[in-house]
Structure 1
């Protein structure tokens, strides 16, 4: 009889008393047979730790001395967790019965699957996919991220159209299953990211290390989203732009790097101008500041420090061989299944 892999669900918390009260009961009802639950607290100033200790004594507490964001917070907390598989779960996620078992079973079938995500639906519109991960993350040839079931701000209803197991480019950080040995092998999250896109960067490095990222439709969780920074927040926009540029510089094959980043600069200038014309000067300022801080970061970053092999972007799983924003805005293809025609799937152009 095989032994179940040990699983640790680790919820990173910062002033999330309301979310914990609402969503911890579903997590504590998980039925997986070799499971431990942790609350990793990022120096909260509310009573969320005391609340958890009182009402959910089965949850172990890890206290981080500072709030170093999602990336740094998990890097710190996971030094204190021993398990075969980590499940990094947002504090604003409700899980469904039996949500752990199918993902672990899929990962056990193939040791090359380093990370996997369940189906992510919206908590308040439970028949729809949720922005942060939907049915698995993809990326286009210019580094724009999107999901099966969500392109930009357009989310689809879940009608079973993505109920197939599939390799993807990135798995959502809202409910990320990852082998602990793989997490530490690639040195975890990049703490410079603080929050946003750190899971995409991590999954890219895992692919560069020879692993696969997968999506498991038989597990479903429900995500509120925007719990820390809501959509439209200039701080969120800043982090998304800055972190995306950092990720591209770090991970793109040297042959691709200058080509992609020069095209991105042109498109990001257009985005900044569009923000100003739309009466959103704070958004334009956020984009400019993102570029300024990206260039500061680049002057100190050593590309040799990760020691991972280079891989051409078009040779990786979950990469759309076209320009997503072109298809979305100019061709009106706002659903993943309509993003490309069959004959275009191997064409590396827009």
Structure 2
């Protein structure tokens, strides 16, 4: 088997359906498998998976085992020569994995490959390519000075080596994953992808950023810097530094910094967008699929896929834009989202054959699900 796509899910059933559909289309011409491991979501995630994607292998944890442990459990059941560790709130293009395989085979001594991640509005996510976070860089990141945390030597659309990739999307050989013993299970949340990237580098592998391949990463969880965030981020950094640096003075310095930042941390969450849009543009060749949605808007405009080029961009303002994936290809939708990113509109995607659409308007906000039911 060529590829095993491992998706760790936790309480994002609707995003998971969109992710699974995009991955299913991307492995259509490959010998590949999809493994979903659920961290005790206690929602409809696995029921929806079994119903809409019966071919997907599922693992149901009885507790929230964290990112590292859950992924390691799933990889133990993987059979592919290659692995893709993938978040459930991602969307891949149809040619994503074929391009990655070709790229991997064209290079020597590769470790993991990551793609250009964009948010639900089409804006680049800088964590796609990062540097090793020494203590000074980690502290600067937490106080909002992050230019040294990210790899700015590579342009967004370039391909090239980078020290650290993000755990939302990591493509590598399964044997390399096993050789470095996968994700360190001392990390529950944050830091495990830094550690894995660093272990691959120490094993004389080069991590690589593929800027010519775009992947949507909705990032539904808020990243507000409250006390819990500092606990988790600094906790992860402490594990990383104790493991790879073993410096007591450094450990004490970080603990002091953590105490200071926690004492000044705001518990207030960022305001989410509250503006309501009352009109929608739906791109589909099957209008009957959206009868239920028509009831939710004052006005709905339908365009077929062929008519997209005729849309006046000014008419997209202050509207929902809904892509029907029974009509569109994911690579087309990803490009449209990027091209239309500066237009004030809410972009949503409807997985083929599923009665809802999902999307997100900011990397710092919760996403939205719109039901198509009457």
Out of 10, 18, 26, the residue aligned to residue 22 of structure 1 is 18
What is the root-mean-square deviation of aligned Cα atoms in Å? 3.2
Partners of 1:269 and 1:30 lie apart in 2 by 46
- How far apart, CA to CA, are the structure 2 residues paired with 1:76 and 1:89? 14
Question: d(CA) in 2 for partners of 1:245 and 1:211?
Answer: 24
1:108-151 CA-partner distances (Å, limit 9, x unpaired)? 2234112110111111x20x1125x33x121344263599xx96
Q: Of 123, 137, 150, which residue of structure 2 is paired with 1:144?
A: 137
Counterpart pick for 1:64 among 61, 64, 67: 61
Q: Which residue of 2 aligns with 1:327?
A: none
Shift of the 99–155 alpha-carbon distance from structure 1 to 2, 3 Å rule, reads farther
Give distance in 1, aligned partners of 2:85 and 2:214: 15
User: In the superposition, relative to structure 1, how do residues 189 and 18 fare at CA in structure 2: closer, same or farther (>3 Å)?
Assistant: same
Query: In structure 2, how many angstroms separate the alpha carbons of the residues matched to 1:9 and 1:143?
Result: 35
How far 1:30 moved relative to its partner?
A: 0.6
Which sections of structure 2, spanning at least 5 residues, go unmatched? 269-374
1:53 aligns with 2:47: no
* Deviation by residue 1:219-246 (Cα, 9 ceiling, x = unmatched): 110111143x643343232111101111
State the TM-score, normalized to the length of structure 2: 0.63
Q: Which of 175, 185, 194 lines up with 1:191 in the alignment?
A: 185
| Residue 173 of structure 1, CA deviation | 0.4
2:9 to 9, 13, 19: 13
Give the equivalent residue in structure 2 for 1:231: 224
Q: Which moved more, 1:50-59 or 1:232-241?
A: 232-241
Alignment of 1:142-221 (within 5 A): 142=135, 144=137, 152=146, 161-221=155-215
Matched, 1:114 2:116: no
In 2 relative to 1, CA 112–53 (structure 1 residues): closer, same or farther, beyond 3 Å? same
After TM superposition, the structure 1 stretch with the greater mean CA deviation from structure 2, 197-206 or 42-51, is 42-51
Distance 2:40 2:79 in 1: 22
1:143–1:244 CA contact under 8 A, matched in 2: no
Write the mapping of 1:1-350 to structure 2, written as runs, cut at 5 A.
6-31=2-27, 32-123=29-120, 125-126=121-122, 128-130=123-125, 133-134=127-128, 136-142=129-135, 144=137, 152=146, 161-227=155-221, 230-252=223-245, 257-258=247-248, 260-261=250-251, 264-265=254-255, 267-268=257-258, 270-275=260-265
Bigger proportion of residues as helix: 1
Tell me: CA distance 1:208–1:77, structure 2 relative to 1, closer, same or farther (3 Å).
Answer: same
Q: CA deviation at 1:36?
A: 1.4
Structure 1 unaligned segments of length 5 or more: list them: 282-350
Q: Matched residues in 2 for 1:233 and 1:270: separation?
A: 12
Residue aligning to 1:328: none
User: Do 2:230 and 2:258's aligned partners in 1 also have CA atoms closer than 8 Å?
Assistant: no
Distance change >3 Å, CA 153–CA 67, structure 1 → 2? farther
Measure the CA separation in 1 of the matches of 2:167 and 2:255: 27
Deviations 1:233-282 (A, max 9, x none): 43232111101111011012x5xx3565465456445534543xxx559x
